[in-house]
């Protein structure tokens, strides 16, 4: 009798490990670092399998731990485990796995259904050695997050992205070890929620808030210095910042040296160059902006650009920074406008008895000029030669043949009033130049 189709197979950690790293699938023990040691004769254990130090078991349907003695046997050397995209919804099963991997440093539980499942504090000590913990898209509660951070004294990196958090629940116990918090793609809007991270993680060095809707940086200099004394990097990409005042407040973080602020409403009216320059001018201590290192020359250019950009229409919230930069560089004259459009000149093109005034783009090449003249003057499609005649110097220099097809016209220093002589290619040697009579007119 067939089993019901509604019954789902229960997959255990032990089962998946045994299947994925079965020595029969890797007969030579190559490629994944497996070492297979024979056991002593007569031993009830046939062969002991030592797994690689990094286990990747994502999307394997795991919902249970399996026999803990097997986990301990297999995972004595394991330091990293990726269990993302599985079906683990019981912290008891997760704790059984973790407690039997004595050197576990990195644990990824992303996209396991942990919403509404609480971790009992009495079980949490098994996470004490974990330094990097990934809980992306698990919808794990803040209570469980706090239970974990209280029992992981070595935790340095915590990933809480895509958990639909709209608020942050404070913990009564701070986590002094945490250096990196990544909480992107949530629903945080108020700086009052972000402020709580400073209280809970006072030694935080990197805070990744990208793709939240945080609309301001709403604390005083004294408060930000007290809450985030060690913060070196902040990512505010695609946040809701809309005032220069919020950018100015980033300077209140005493050790901040890297900022990401792409996709914010404040910068939408500006060009790419203007965005980077205006941000740099406002952030004098930042060494890396939007992923790009800042040189001393770029900073000076940005600060000078800031002065010129606002000298005729200064915004009130930029007045103090403008005053500081003017005291540094003085009042700057506007930059001269440079016309970067393709250069053109008007020359006389002579073909036999015909003379036509033609406007030429000096950016085009000799080959392009020949095509242009054929189309414009209805010249024959067979071979022609072009000679450039400098009207002022023709008596001294004579005509210069335009031989190199890839050479740009501007390299010949052609000017208005000069001439281009068109002659057919002769079958005989034409190295002596055109035979059309005098070339100075």
Q: What is the pLDDT of residues 87-103, one digit of tens each?
A: 999 999 999 999 999 99
**Least confident among 55-64, 212-221, 285-294, 351-360:** 351-360
pLDDT at residue 28 tops 70: no
User: In three state form, how does the secondary structure of the chain look?
Assistant: CCCCCCCCCCEEHHHHHHHHCCCCCCCCCCCCCCEEEECCCCCCCCEEEECCCEEECCCCCEEECCCHHHHHHHCCCCCEEECCCCCCCCHHHHHHHHHCCCCCCEEECCCCCCCCCCCCHHHHHHHCCCCEEECCCCCCCHHHHHHHHHCCCCCCEEECCCCCCCCCCCCCCCCCCCCEEECCCCCCCCHHHHHHHHHHCCCCCEEECCCCCCCCCCCCHHHHHHHCCCCCEEECCCCCCCCHHHHHHHHHCCCCCEEECCCCHHHCCCCHHHHHHHHHHHCCCCCEECCEECCHHHHHHHHHHHHHHHCCCCCHHHHHHHHHHHHHHCCCCCCCCCCCCCCEEEEEEEECCEEEEEEEECCCEHHHHHHHHHHHHCCCCCCEEEEEECCCCHHHHCCEECCCCCCEHHHHCCCCCCEEEEEECCCCCCCCCCCCCCCCC
pLDDT-based confidence at residue 441 (cuts at 50, 70, 90)? very low
Residue-wise pLDDT for 110-169, tens only, equals 999 999 999 999 999 999 999 999 999 999 999 999 999 999 999 999 999 999 999 999
Decide if 9-136+147-163 and 167-333 have a common fold. yes
pLDDT at residue 376 tops 80: no
Please tell me the predicted confidence (pLDDT) of residue 430. 42
Q: What is the mean pLDDT of residues 41-51?
A: 46
Topology annotation, domain 9-136+147-163:
3.80.10
Higher-scoring residue by pLDDT: 213, 413: 213
pLDDT at residue 429 tops 90: no
**Domain map (residue ranges) of the chain:** 9-136+147-163, 167-333, 344-424
Please tell me the predicted confidence (pLDDT) of residue 394. 74
Please tell me the predicted confidence (pLDDT) of residue 345. 86
Residue-wise pLDDT for 207-258, tens only, equals 999 999 999 999 999 999 999 999 999 999 999 999 999 999 999 999 999 9
Topology annotation, domain 167-333:
3.80.10
**Least confident among 179-193, 328-342, 387-401:** 328-342
Residue-wise pLDDT for 301-314, tens only, equals 999 999 999 887 77
pLDDT at residue 413 tops 90: no
Calculate the average pLDDT of the chain.
Answer: 86
Q: Domain 344-424: give its CATH architecture.
A: Roll (3.10)
Please tell me the predicted confidence (pLDDT) of residue 42. 40
Please tell me the predicted confidence (pLDDT) of residue 340. 54
């Amino acid at each position: 009798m067939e089993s019901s189709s509604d019954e789902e197979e229960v997959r255990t950690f032990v089962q998946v490990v045994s299947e994925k790293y079965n020595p029969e699938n890797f007969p030579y023990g190559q490629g994944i670092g497996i070492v297979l040691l024979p056991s002593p004769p007569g031993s009830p254990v046939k062969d002991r399998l030592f797994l690689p130090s990094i286990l990747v078991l994502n999307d394997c349907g795991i919902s249970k731990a399996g026999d803990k003695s097997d986990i301990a046997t297999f995972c004595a050397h394991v330091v990293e485990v990726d269990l993302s995209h599985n079906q683990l919804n019981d912290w008891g099963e997760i704790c059984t796995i973790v407690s039997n991997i004595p050197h576990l440093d990195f644990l990824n539980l992303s996209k396991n259904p942990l919403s509404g499942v609480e971790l009992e504090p009495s079980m949490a000590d098994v996470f004490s050695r974990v330094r990097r913990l990934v809980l992306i898209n698990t919808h794990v509660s803040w209570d469980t997050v706090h239970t974990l951070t209280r029992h992981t004294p070595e935790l340095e990196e915590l990933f809480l992205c895509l958990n639909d958090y709209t608020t942050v629940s404070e913990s009564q116990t701070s986590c002094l070890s945490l250096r990196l918090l990544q909480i992107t793609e949530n629903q945080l809007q108020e700086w009052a929620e972000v402020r709580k991270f400073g209280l809970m993680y006072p030694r935080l060095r990197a805070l990744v808030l990208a793709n939240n809707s945080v609309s301001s940086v709403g604390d005083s200099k004294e408060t930000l210095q007290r809450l985030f004394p060690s913060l070196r990097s902040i990512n505010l990409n695609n946040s809701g910042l809309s005032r220069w005042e919020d950018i100015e407040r980033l300077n209140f973080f005493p050790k901040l040296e890297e900022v990401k602020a792409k996709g914010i409403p404040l910068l939408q009216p500006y060009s790419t160059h203007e965005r980077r320059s205006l941000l740099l001018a406002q952030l004098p201590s930042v060494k890396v902006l939007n992923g790009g290192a800042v040189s001393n020359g770029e900073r000076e250019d940005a600060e000078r650009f800031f002065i010129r950009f606002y000298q005729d229409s200064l915004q009130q919230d930029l007045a103090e920074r403008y005053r500081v930069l003017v005291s540094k560089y003085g009042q700057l004259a506007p930059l001269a406008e440079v016309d970067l459009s393709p250069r053109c000149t008007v020359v006389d093109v002579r073909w036999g008895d015909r003379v036509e005034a033609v406007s030429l783009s000096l950016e085009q090449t000799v080959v392009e000029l020949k095509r242009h003249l054929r189309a414009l003057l209805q010249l024959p499609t067979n071979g022609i030669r072009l000679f450039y005649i400098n009207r002022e110097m023709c008596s001294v220099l004579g005509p210069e043949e335009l031989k190199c097809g890839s050479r740009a016209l501007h390299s010949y220093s052609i000017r208005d009033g000069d001439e281009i002589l068109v002659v057919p290619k002769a079958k005989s040697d034409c190295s002596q130049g055109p035979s059309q009579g005098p070339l100075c007119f």
